[in-house]
Chain A
Amino acid sequence: GEDVEQSLFLSVREGDSSVINCTYTDSSSTYLYWYKQEPGAGLQLLTYIFSNMDMKQDQRLTVLLNKKDKHLSLRIADTQTGDSAIYFCAEMPWGGYNKLIFGAGTRLAVHP
């Protein structure tokens, strides 16, 4: 079956790097996503990676994909208080063009 798991909580100091981890079970996943959810707001797509890539960098964000271990991570460099939010990992299974499978989300708290 399809399952996406994330740790529930991460606390970091402002200016440090944050690393949010995710594991998934469906080896046929085509795309993997990171979404950000701030209080009272909808989900905002942060970045995505195609399954044949192992790394993608976008400004302060770095996504690493280990397809063998089915492990995805999101690194946020120089974490700021505005980065405090819930981060969701999601996968799109092969043939599943019409839905995403989400993890439960990781709450990132940034403190001074």
Chain B
Amino acid sequence: GAGVSQSPSNKVTEKGKDVELRCDPISGHTALYWYRQRLGQGLEFLIYFQGNSAPDKSGLPSDRFSAERTGESVSTLTIQRTQQEDSAVYLCASSPQDRGLETQYFGPGTRLLVL
């Protein structure tokens, strides 16, 4: 079956512009996560959605970052007024259960470069 997909795979933008990244989770997965991976570093948690509950936004680095998810479907991560330090790979993962124990399935990521 299809895995987690993300689009675009690569995005180059100019400083100050807004970008929108998309994640299509595995069908039926109730939990969805966004992570950021800077060059040479591990993944940083950004935000978590579980069903219709209020999202856990504790990892968002600033108010320029926001994310939405409608029900248990697609999620979009929006970065407003992009800065060069936003350059990173943005990874999305989904999980079939709210605990996500051993089952966070990752997409290939969107590589964002802010010039």
Q: In angstroms, how far is the closest chain A Cβ from the Cβ of B8?
A: 14
Q: Which of A31, A40, A43 has the most CB of B within 10 A?
A: A43
Could you list 17 A-B pairs, sorted by A, with CB under 8 Å?
Answer: A8-B40, A31-B102, A40-B108, A42-B4, A42-B106, A42-B108, A42-B109, A44-B106, A97-B98, A98-B33, A98-B50, A98-B98, A99-B48, A99-B56, A102-B43, A104-B41, A104-B42
Q: A10: CB under 8 A from chain B?
A: no
List of 10 A-B pairs having minimum Cβ-Cβ separation, nearest first: A102-B42, A42-B106, A99-B45, A98-B48, A43-B106, A102-B43, A42-B108, A104-B42, A97-B99, A48-B102
Q: In angstroms, how far is the closest chain B Cβ from the Cβ of A22?
A: 11
User: Using a CB-CB cutoff of 8 Å, which residues 29-87 of chain B contact chain A?
Assistant: 31, 33, 35, 40-45, 48, 50, 56, 59
Tally A residues with Cβ within 8 Å of B: 24
User: Nearest residue in B to A45 (C-beta to C-beta)?
Assistant: B102
Residues of A bordering B, CB below 8 Å: 4, 8, 31, 33, 35, 40-45, 48, 88, 90, 92, 97-105
Q: Say yes or no: A88-B42 contact (C-beta < 8 A), given A42-B107, A99-B48.
A: yes
Q: In angstroms, how far is the closest chain A Cβ from the Cβ of B100?
A: 6
User: Contact between B40 and A104 (Cβ–Cβ < 8 Å)?
Assistant: yes
Interface size class of B (residues with CB under 8 A): 20 to 34
Q: B101: CB under 8 A from chain A?
A: yes
Q: Which of A4, A48, A98, A103 has the most CB of B within 10 A?
A: A98
Interface of A, helix, strand, loop or mixed by DSSP = strand
> How many Å lie between the Cα of A103 and that of B101 in the bound state?
18
Contact with A along B1-40 (1 / 0, CB 8 A): 0011000000000000000000000000001010100001
Q: Say yes or no: A98-B31 contact (C-beta < 8 A), given A4-B42, A104-B42.
A: yes
Q: Which one of B3, B56, B102, B109 lies within 8 Å of A98 (CB-CB)?
A: B56
Q: In angstroms, how far is the closest chain A Cβ from the Cβ of B46?
A: 9
* B residues near A100, Cβ cutoff 8 Å: 43, 45, 104
> How many Å lie between the Cα of A100 and that of B104 in the bound state?
9
